[in-house]
Amino acid sequence: MSDLADQKRYSPACERNKDAILEVLQDVMPASGTILEIACGPGQHAVHFAAGFPDVQWQPSDIDPTSIASTLAWRAETGVPNLLDPVILDATATEWPLERADGIICCNMIHISPWEVTLGLLDGAARILPENGILYTYGPYKVGGKHTAPSNEAFDQSLRSQNPSWGVRNLDDVALEARRRGLHLIKTIKMPANNFSVIYKKTPMVDAIDV
């Protein structure tokens, strides 16, 4: 095996959820332009999603260099032509390596990172999306402050025992912070294994209505 192939990570969960996620993405994301993937992890999703969006420049990113290396390995193996070089991107940074993206996706980061990372994701999305641009997120959530399944509650406890700043978030809290930044929740879709697709659209803030 080459050095690059040695860097490739495989996620059974990505294999299980990639088709269901792609189906939603093809419904809600732009079919051309640049889509930024935040927290791409192994890059297994990136090659699959880029192949499903042949007219999009798919831009994977992650804070972790090992994710960048794994994504490069997946790209080398699959040869997907519209998958751009993955870039290091820390969602909490006040400047991202891209000044604009036509759409943004982020799977399974919000619960496996501190709350500040979610706020950074929302800040950055509000900054670089065009008007009517879409932010798509995927993962488990509490709804109305309650877990949606016993398995999610157990998962939440195991996350918090690994890192007290992690945990399954309350969807209403995330949606409120998004709305404060002009990202309005337009759709939630129940996904397999008690996950949600959550879709936000950047729309202008209305502070006051003239009458």
Ligand X SMILES: C[S@@+](CC[C@H](N)C(=O)[O-])C[C@H]1O[C@@H](n2cnc3c(N)ncnc32)[C@H](O)[C@@H]1O
Q: Of the candidates 139, 128, 142, which has an alpha carbon nearest to the alpha carbon of residue 199? A: 139
The widest CA-to-CA distance across the chain, in whole angstroms, is: 69
107 lies in the site for ligand X, by CB under 6 A: yes
Separation between Cα atoms, residue 130 and residue 108, nearest integer Å? 24
Residues 27-86 that bind ligand X (CB under 6 A): 38-41, 45, 62-64, 67
Q: Could you tell me if 62 and 88 are in contact, meaning their C-beta atoms sit under 8 angstroms apart?
A: yes
Structure-block tokens of residue 170: 């309350």
Q: Could you tell me if 29 and 136 are in contact, meaning their C-beta atoms sit under 8 angstroms apart?
A: yes
**Applying CB under 6 A, which of residues 57, 78, 82, 92 lies at the interface with ligand X?**
92
To ligand X, the closest distance from the beta carbon of 33 in angstroms equals 21
Q: What is the DSSP letter of 170?
A: B
Distances, alpha carbon 104 to alpha carbons 17, 19, 147, 160, in Å:
18, 18, 26, 27
Number of residues interacting with ligand X: please give it, by CB under 6 A. 21
**Applying CB under 6 A, which of residues 50, 73, 117, 174 lies at the interface with ligand X?**
117
Q: Could you tell me if 179 and 20 are in contact, meaning their C-beta atoms sit under 8 angstroms apart?
A: no
Residues 137-156 that bind ligand X (CB under 6 A): none
91 lies in the site for ligand X, by CB under 6 A: yes
What phi, psi does 90 have (nearest 5°)?
Answer: -95, 115
Cβ closest to ligand X, residue 35 vs residue 117: 117
195 lies in the site for ligand X, by CB under 6 A: no
**Applying CB under 6 A, which of residues 112, 119, 159, 185 lies at the interface with ligand X?**
112
To ligand X, the closest distance from the beta carbon of 62 in angstroms equals 5
Q: Name residue 117's beta-bridge partners.
A: none
Residue nearest to ligand X (CB): 41
194 lies in the site for ligand X, by CB under 6 A: no
To ligand X, the closest distance from the beta carbon of 61 in angstroms equals 7
90 lies in the site for ligand X, by CB under 6 A: yes
Interaction site with ligand X (CB under 6 A): 11, 14, 38-41, 45, 62-64, 67, 89-92, 107-109, 112-113, 117
